[in-house]
Amino acid sequence: MQNRMPSRRRSPKMPHERDESAGTQDGTQARDEPSAARVGGAAHEDIERGQVDTDKGPVLDRTYDKVREGTPDPDKKFSP
């Protein structure tokens, strides 16, 4: 009977495993990820062409505050 060593090959990680692993926190894996390079390159090109940030956060915050006006506690923000 032959003693078999476990395979040293690494299987691809599931998305939640990539997000939570320590290796993804230092930024080295992000540089090696093709999608990260593609998104980063597209963002760089957008800035070079003069496009501005299209973040909707500030707009949504103002809308939320306007909707909350007149409620019993208008300054209270929802926190899960």
What is the pLDDT at residue 22?
A: 61
Domain range for 40 is: 16-50
What average pLDDT values come out for the chain (80 residues) when binned by 10 residues?
A: 61 72 59 75 91 86 88 72
Domains identified in the chain, total number: 1
Residue 38, in any domain of the structure: yes
Task: Spell out the residues 6+ positions from residue 65 whose beta carbon is closer than 8 angstroms to its own.
Answer: 74
DSSP assignment string, 34-60: HHHHHHHHHHHHHHHTT------HHHH
Establish if 77 belongs to a structural domain: no
Q: Is residue 37 part of a domain?
A: yes
The CA-based diameter of the chain, rounded to the nearest angstrom, is 79
pTM: 0.34
> Does residue 75 form part of some domain?
no
- The string of pLDDT tens digits covering residues 17-33 is 766 666 655 665 555 66
Cβ within 8 Å of residue 24, ≥6 positions away: 18, 30
**What is the spatial distance between Cα 65 and Cα 59, in angstroms, rounded to a whole number?**
10
